[in-house]
Structure 1
Amino acid sequence: MPQENVQNNGAAINSIHDRFAIEDLLTSYARAIDRLDLELLKSLYHEDARTGHAWFEGTARDFADQVIAFSRDTFVSTMHHVTHTLIALNGDTAAAESYYYAYHRLEGDIDKVAGFFGKSYAERCAKDGTIDDGHEFISGGRYVDSLTKRNGVWGLANRETTVEWKHFRPVTHGDPGSGIAKIVAPAGRDRNDVAYRVFAAIGR
């Protein structure tokens, strides 16, 4: 095989490997946020990385501390979905644009509901009798990332997050004993979640 073809094949294989590594990193972000895994979340960023969100601008390490604490105190569950990603590679640097949508569930009294969703929403729910039913906040946007590979490991160097739509509403419930009410399979918000046990079984 000509040397040029060998080099081209090697470059293609490296590109595929890099893309898989970046996609794995982006997917791991969802696990870290939803399982409140601070150690995992910090591991996705380089130590000097920065990040910008709708409510935060600063170092990624500070963001990780704040977002995990806020999510633990505010929501009873979250589920982040990274849907599709466009990745551009240039040696040991890369750019990625990932679409996402994120589900959050809040439970609490009228003061907690008003603190997150606003006084008028909380008062309306209290009047409607839905204040104690739990409340869903769903949003969508994009993660726009700069990544670098250092010592053979890809990490986030900078992340900018857009929020392009959001919706919130009281949670709906089925009648007691109904089929929908019997569908209950809660997730763990820590390393006791089933995913950690399954991955640990293969040494990951």
Structure 2
Amino acid sequence: MTTDSDELADLIDREKIRNCIMGLARGEDRRDAQLITAAFWANAMTDFGIFKGNFSQYLDWVVPGSAAVLLTQHKLSQIYIKLAGNVAQCETYVTSYHRVNTGEAHHDITIGGRYLDQMEKREGEWRISTRTMLYDWCQNFGISANWEQGLMGQPFSSEHYTGACANDFSYAFFGIRE
């Protein structure tokens, strides 16, 4: 029989897991080693199909990231969590946008897939111990919009309106970096 306190603990664990996964996506979009590191255990393993390795190798791969990938945005949707004590299995749907410099032009590419994460709770903290990426679809939308010309014929009044990995304006917004 579950008690109210068991249910509350379960809800808290699930929210901590979701926050970990969302914080990682935020870190990857900004190529922020600190945010990414906070989501993985040091002995974690990753497998993205195009890259497979331990956490240290993964961090070196994703930060600073490929010079050809100018911008990314990971949108997470449903997260299925199967809890078993201090271990959880999670499936997270992701739609990721990538602005890629092909050498001739910048292209907008979107990928749909799922993260399969093995999570572990150690000393009250949830982090990823294993991540595997599954790819479901990919779409190349062709040549990207030229943000130097603004949006819909109107120039931007400042550079901070367009996405930028490491110099993302949201850091200043949240007071994270001055």
Normalization by structure 2: what TM-score? 0.85
Matches within 5 A, 1:134-153: 134-153=106-125
Matches within 5 A, 1:73-88: 73-88=67-82
CA distance in 1, matches of 2:145, 2:164: 21
Matches within 5 A, 1:88-103: 88-103=82-97
TM-superposed CA distance for 1:200, in Å, is 3.1
**Greater share of residues in strand:** 2
TM-superposed CA distance for 1:167, in Å, is 1.7
Partner residue, 1:197: 172
Displacement over 4 Å in runs of 4+: 176-179
Q: Which of residues 155, 159, 162 in structure 2 aligns to 1:186?
A: 162
Distance 1:90-1:168 versus aligned 2 partners, 3 A rule: same
Partner residue, 1:69: 64
What number of residue pairs does the alignment pair up? Answer: 171
Pairing 1:17–2:12 present = yes
Gaps of 5+ in 2: none
Gaps of 5+ in 1: 110-130
CA distance in 2, matches of 1:178, 1:46: 41
* Amino-acid identity (%): 25
Task: Give the letter for the 1:186 counterpart.
Answer: T
Higher Cα radius of gyration? 1
Distance 1:194-1:91 versus aligned 2 partners, 3 A rule: same
Q: Is the 8 A contact 1:42 1:61 kept in 2?
A: no
